[in-house]
Structure 1
Amino acid sequence: MSVPQNPAFTDASNTPEHWERAYRARPSTEVSWYRPHLERSLAFINDVAPDRCAHILDVGGGASTLVDDLLAQGYRHLSVLDLSEGALSTARDRLGAAAGGVAWLHGDVRTIALEPQSLDLWHDRAVFHFLTNEADQAAYVSQVVHALKPDGHLVIATFAPDGPTRCSGLPVVRYDAAGLAQVFGGAFRLEDQAADAHATPGGSVQSFLYCRFARVG
């Protein structure tokens, strides 16, 4: 089991300024985390939130195409949260008029005000693994517990134990399913997991772990 430890570094560089620079440095389709379609995310979302009226938050969605695909599938209550206003602007510009049907949230997932028990599904691909100290991890978990409905679901993807140790110049924490379940605690029940090999635009392959949790506490 891979259980995250409290490393010697802090999350001080994991700031809006860092991510604004990352998105200015290259087109959004050339950053290492870009994928034309998040097939694994879409499959897990469709499994547990088939109702197109489901309230879904994509944490760290930024310039991701997940919101495009969810809109195309008919989902009507979508929110995208990101530290980078530039990334959010890229997605809004790409969507054009359809962007008006999405709530765009610029802020930090650890501190942003979210409505209590307002979400049916919380989605995160590759944000949580940037939180490398226990205080930030606990703040994130508290936000999920606060915002999800009692019968809601969490779909989360992090680097797997054999994945990279750094991304975008920052250290990350790698997880297996047992490690993620331990961090999220008794308020969540692990329902499914899947490995995902992400091919980056630069030609390398990164090992991800996807987990799907149900809110139970």
Structure 2
Amino acid sequence: MEINKKQHWENVFATKKETEVSWYQEKPETSLQFFERNKIPKTSRILEIGGGDSYLIDNLLEQGYESLTLLDISENAIERIKKRLGENAEKVNFVVSDVLDFTTFEKFDVIHDRASFHFLTKPEDIQKYIDLINHISAENAYYFVGTFSESGPLKCSGLEITQYSEDKFQQIFGHHFEMLNSFEDVHKTPFETTQNFIFCEFLKKIS
């Protein structure tokens, strides 16, 4: 039986504290270094896909970023981050949606996805996601993606995932994006276990 994705994630964020999920990071250094390394302007239109209640948005607000959109399938996750941000939540555009159902007329300068894309396992869903990223990215947009690597876990939060390598990323995003950087990184979970990730930075090609 196919798992109801929304139900699954609503339950995760309703029953687990932020330190009880494997992706918890008090300071998302890898993502913040991407913004620093590429000198992303503070006025950039930024979309975080599957951000849940991660601390990236808190840090970007602290650094003075002005145009932030956080998309997540779980309303519970978004309510949790809104509560944590307090008045600062008003500075963020929150969207409750499955990424595959997301529609917008906005074009983003930066699209960030850490540990969301790898939950797509069907070829047609992966293709739909690729088409979406291409469609909603502005000229010269950056796309930063992190997934489990080929030496990382096969499941996350009880769900199957798709592992990636630099070559695999190049094959699926290389038509529309130029790969600027690729590296592996070991994430230490709150449970003292480790997960091997691969991160890739892309720049939208001029069409």
- What range is the shorter-chain TM-score in? over 0.9
1:145-177 superposed Cα distances (whole Å, 9 cap, x missing partner): 111002101000000110000000101111111
Which structure 2 residues correspond to residues 149-164 of structure 1 after superposition, within 5 A?
Answer: 149-164=138-153
Query: Is 1:196 matched up with 2:185?
Result: yes
Look up the match of 1:43. Answer: 33
Query: Is 1:139 matched up with 2:128?
Result: yes
Distance in 2, Cα, partners of 1:86 & 1:36: 19
Distance in 2, Cα, partners of 1:80 & 1:14: 21
Distance in 1, Cα, partners of 2:64 & 2:204: 24
Say which of 81, 84, 95 aligns to 1:91: 81
User: Deviation at 1:40?
Assistant: 0.7
Letter matched to residue 25 of structure 1: T
Local SS of the residue matching 1:29: helix
* Number of equivalenced pairs: 206
Distance 1:42 1:14, change over 3 A: farther
Distance 1:161 1:183, change over 3 A: same
Distance 1:193 1:14, change over 3 A: farther
Greater length-normalized contact order (CA 8 Å, ≥ 6 residues apart): 1
User: Deviation at 1:49?
Assistant: 4.8
1:188-214 superposed Cα distances (whole Å, 9 cap, x missing partner): 111001211111111100000110001
- What TM-score comes out, normalization by structure 2 length? 0.96
Say which of 17, 23, 27 aligns to 2:13: 23
User: Deviation at 1:115?
Assistant: 1.9
Distance in 2, Cα, partners of 1:196 & 1:38: 12
Letter matched to residue 204 of structure 1: T
Q: Is the 8 A contact 1:49 1:121 kept in 2?
A: no
Identify unmatched segments of 5+ residues in structure 2.
none
Letter matched to residue 110 of structure 2: L
Letter matched to residue 42 of structure 2: R
Identify unmatched segments of 5+ residues in structure 1.
1-9
